Amino acid sequence: MDFSKLNRYSGSRAFWFLFGMILGVSGLFLGLQRGLVGESLVGFGLILLGIQGLLRPVVLTRAGKISKEEMSREVSIGSDALHGGLSLLMAASLVVGMILKYLVKM
């Protein structure tokens, strides 16, 4: 993994990392403390969101200059397989956590 790209779009990286970590760690801690599986899974998913935002920041590009895929590939850290696996795990954790939290009340 090429960490030399960390200085590009550092504001976006920092925002998404801190957003995911603050909400995720608090949700995970609260869920573990109260024995709530759904809340813990949502917290874990938000932590993964923070990691994903650090590795591949949200980049807003100007239309016509360069495609979003090229820009995303240019600034992302890690392989496409890593990002795909992280995204699937994050989505599964958030969906199952929301179902358990709000529908099953666990």
How would residue 80 be classed by pLDDT, with cut points 50, 70 and 90? Answer: confident
CB neighbour list of residue 39: distance below 8 Å, 6 or more residues apart: 27, 28, 30, 31, 97, 101
How would residue 85 be classed by pLDDT, with cut points 50, 70 and 90? Answer: very high
Query: What is the per-residue pLDDT for 1?
Result: 65
pTM: 0.85
Which residue's entry shows tokens 């993964």? 48
User: Average pLDDT of 92-97?
Assistant: 96
Per-residue pLDDT tens for 4-54? Answer: 777 778 888 899 999 999 999 999 999 999 999 999 999 999 999 999 999
Q: Are 56 and 69 in contact (CB under 8 A)?
A: no
